[in-house]
Amino acid sequence: MTNIPETGRTPRVQIRLIVIQVLVLSLLGTLGGRLWYLQIREGDAYAKEASGNHVQQVVQPAVRGSILDARGVALADNETRLVVSASRTDLLKMPDDGKAVLTKLAGVLGMTPTEVMEKVRLCDAETPQPCWNGSPYQPIPITDEATAKQALQIRERAEDFPGITAEPQAVRRYASPGAANTAQVLGYLSPVTDEEIQQAQDSDSPYLRSDMVGRSGLERQYDKELRGKAGVTRYEVDNLGRVIGQAQSDAARAGSNLVTSIDARVQRVAEYELNDAMKKARQEWDRNTNERYKADSGAVVVMEAKTGRIVAMASNPTYDPNAWVGGISAKDYKKLTGKSSNYPLLNRAIQGQSAPGSVFKVIPTAAAVNAGYSFDGPYQCSSSYSIGGQVFKNFESKGYGPISLGRALEVSCDTVFYRLSHQEWQRDGGTKPKKNANDWFYKTAHQFGLGAETGIDLPNEVTGRIPDRQWKQDYWKANKDAWCKYGKKDGSYAEKIAYENCLEGNRLRAGDSVNYSIGQGDTLVTPIQMATIYAAISNGGTLYDPTVGKAIISADGKSVQEIKPKSHGKLPISRQTLAEMDDALAGVATRGTAAWRFADVGWPQDKIPMHAKTGTAEVYGKQTTSWFTTYTKDYAVVMTISQGGTGSGASGPAVRNIYDALYGVSDDGTIDKKKALLPTPQKSLPKVRTDGTITSPKISKDPAKEQRASQEGEDSADQQQLAATVATPSAENRDTRRRRRRSRRRGSRRMLT
């Protein structure tokens, strides 16, 4: 026991054993620490990952709600189609990225391989349409028009088509009832994008990867209501995907139906008449430009005067909304958005803005009365009005002597408004405005709701523009550099204008105030704004927010949520003035510029008092814009055709035909209640039964053509009585009728403004 301790060990061994012990314990400590880190600190994250691991979601897509017209006719609903889709994840697993499979598939579907491959590529900044902008993990639809035979071919040879599925799916259908396509109002759908899913993640209506989202029109505005909520069943699965239990199940909730105030028949008539009016306008000769009118675009709005509800809204050029269903093709996309397309996706009733011309004159009339001028006048309607050497002519340089404001509206006398506006401009201090200038003419326009959105329940409405002092200042600031560069004192007309603008474009000049008073110059309005204003004049002064949606009815019909009319203000005119203005506008239809479209051609003014105002707006470098604003006690109808000619000339017959259809009026003034499509606005809502079916009346194939035909029938009957020349209704008949209307025009024509 000298140097060996009693345990039989040297200090070296003893120390090493302690080292081993410490080492061992620290190893175990490491394990414990790591275990704590994984289970306690990061536990939640792993728990989440674990649940994602063994839970498979099976999504039952919610059926999107229908969009119905006021009587329950479906404008947009769903149909079952055989959809062939490709899973990108499966395709990419193949050595050739699935090219062989897609080529084979193209053969079965009768498409070219390129077409199919373009459909499954992902959209990015450099990839043009067509491409897939939905989730790359979701099956990408290649066609939704597969025949049963094609689907069978794919399903029976599943091993030849890995990653390809062919299944029946509910697909959006824009049914075009009665040939009314209502394209821009309805809008369209496209697949949800990753960003949208992220954004909506924490909202109360999150998106699913397979969701389609409304991109414009009603589909977008009421997307949340229409979409419903997809059902999700979560199954617990094992590592091979075998179901070992059901974790959670939320039943799908079908989207609600949107009842609109649109009447499919009136919509069809409006679309047809607008298109027809534009076609006719293109045959007319424009003496100013020495070519035919281009009539490149147009819009018409039929509004319930007492509620602001839209009965019909048409925009031309138009398109087939079904082009978007199942992914848009490259050709279609180019046709809809290309430079030469003239942008049919635009809803020109709310997104087209142009100078209003004389339909604007109700605003300076109200402004003048508000500024203290008497309605009765008299005011000198001279053939021209000059300011410092600059001559502002009346339309066709005609004078009417001293007249009232009402008469000035009737005959659309420009000089009366020139003078009043100029006087007010001077009173406000001219180019050096007083501190608290009244600016009656501008203030009133704003009070009429111009220069701002009407608040219609459609996305992307534009505001139009009231060129008041503030706007002049802002606009000059933004443009003066360009003007000053381009402008020349003794250059061309455009250069001179730019030069002038450079010098004093920030000031409201006398000429500006004069041009503005008749809705020219920089003034811009939208058809929906004008419809809102004229409906307000009809209903006693309430400016309603126009609405297309009338009610949201749940899929089982149990919950009905009405969309009540809302107003955004009152016209700034007294009852008295309103009545006088109302009289004057009736005068337009009986004695004034629109008489040759109404009173002179058999409009039953005593039974259905018609009020109208015509407008022919000049646009620098373009042909004149045709405006026609009208109203009865129930409806306001506004039509405009860009580069279409005069107000009553180009738009007149179309608007008259729309009224004829609404009220069942014939050319000779008789009213046939049976033929009237909608003599009073539709009040009741369509019924949605608990099983989801909707009661709706049958609708004829094309109400517009029928209406034309019935009128022609009467015409021909007339003429048979008169001349007994034409036996059957034919295309020739229509010409005859037009000729008849035209022949009367000569006698009754007063002025086209």
Residues in region 179-238 near other proteins by CB under 8 A: 236-238
Number of residues binding to other proteins, judged by CB under 8 A? 47
Closest approach of Cβ 247 to other proteins, in Å?
9
Query: Closest separation between CB of residue 15 and other proteins, Å?
Result: 10
Closest to other proteins by CB, 28 or 722: 28
> From the CB of 42, what's the least distance to other proteins, in Å?
6
For residues 529 and 433, give the distance between their C-alpha atoms in angstroms, rounded to a whole number: 29
Note whether 94 binds other proteins by CB under 8 A. no
DSSP lists the bridge partners of residue 387 as 390
Cβ atoms of 501 and 340 closer than 8 Å: no
Q: Which stretch binds other proteins (CB under 8 A): 35-43, 248-256, 441-449, 483-491?
A: 35-43
Q: Strands (DSSP E) along 632-725, which ranges?
A: 635-642
Residue type, 400: Y
579 binds other proteins (CB under 8 A): no
Asked if 28 interacts with other proteins (CB under 8 A), we say: yes
Helices (H) and strands (E) in the chain, counts: 25, 25
Binding segment for other proteins (CB under 8 A), chosen from 34-42, 469-477, 511-519, 633-641, is 34-42
CA gap 362, 634 in Å, rounded: 19
Q: Which of 201, 203, 239, 725 binds other proteins (CB under 8 A)?
A: 239
DSSP string computed for 217-234: HHHHHTHHHHH-B-EEEE
- Give whichever of 51 and 720 is closer to other proteins, judged by the CB atom: 51
DSSP assignment of 454-466 equals: ---SSSS----B-
Instruction: Give the single-character DSSP code of 41.
Output: I
Query: Three-state SS across 65-116?
Result: CCEECCCCCEEEEEEEEEEEEECHHHHHHCCCCCHHHHHHHHHHHCCCHHHH
Q: Is 14 in the site for other proteins (CB under 8 A)?
A: yes
Q: How far is the CB of 244 from other proteins (least distance, A)?
A: 6
Q: Output 40 or 731, the one with its CB closest to other proteins.
A: 40
User: Does residue 45 belong to the site contacting other proteins (CB under 8 A)?
Assistant: yes
Backbone φ, ψ for residue 556 (5° rounding): -95, 5
**Nearest approach, Cβ of 22 to other proteins (angstroms)?**
9
Using CB under 8 A as the binding rule, whether residue 244 contacts other proteins is answered as yes
Under the binding rule (CB under 8 A), the answer on residue 31 touching other proteins is: yes
DSSP states of 512-558: HHHHHHTT-TT-BB-HHHHHHHHHHHHHTSEEEPPBSEEEEE-TTS-
User: Directed axis angle between helix 652-663 and helix 264-281, to 10°?
Assistant: 160
Residue 42 binds other proteins, judged by CB under 8 A: yes
Based on CB atoms, which residue is closest to other proteins, 19 or 152? 19
- Shortest CB 198 distance to other proteins, Å: 22
Distance of closest approach, residue 66 Cβ to other proteins, in angstroms = 41
- Would you count residue 92 as binding other proteins (CB under 8 A)? no
Q: Quick check: 25 binds other proteins (CB under 8 A)? A: yes
Separation between Cα atoms, residue 604 and residue 673, nearest integer Å: 13
Give the distance, in angstroms, between the CA of residue 608 and the centroid of all CA atoms in the same chain: 30
3 near other proteins (CB under 8 A):
yes
String of contacts with other proteins for each residue 49-88, x by CB under 8 A: xxx-xx----------------------------------
* Nearer residue to other proteins within complex by CB, 23 or 727: 23
Which one of 28-36, 255-263, 308-316, 430-438 is the stretch in contact with other proteins (CB under 8 A)? 28-36
The window from 3-11, 123-131, 264-272, 296-304 that contacts other proteins (CB under 8 A) reads 3-11
Cβ closest to other proteins, residue 38 vs residue 717: 38
Beta bridge partners of 167: 83
Nearest one of 608, 614, 604, 612 to 586, comparing CA atoms: 612
224/226 Cα distance (integer angstroms): 6
Given 47, 58, 391, 579, the residue binding other proteins (CB under 8 A): 47
The least CB distance from residue 30 to other proteins, in Å, is 7
- Residue 248 contacts other proteins per CB under 8 A: no
Sheet containing 243-250: which strands, arranged edge to edge? 55-60, 231-237, 243-250
Minimal CA–CA distance to 321: which of 241, 456, 217, 429? 217
Sites of contact with other proteins (CB under 8 A): 3-4, 6-10, 12-14, 16-21, 23-25, 27-28, 30-32, 34-36, 38-40, 42-47, 49-51, 53-54, 236-240, 244
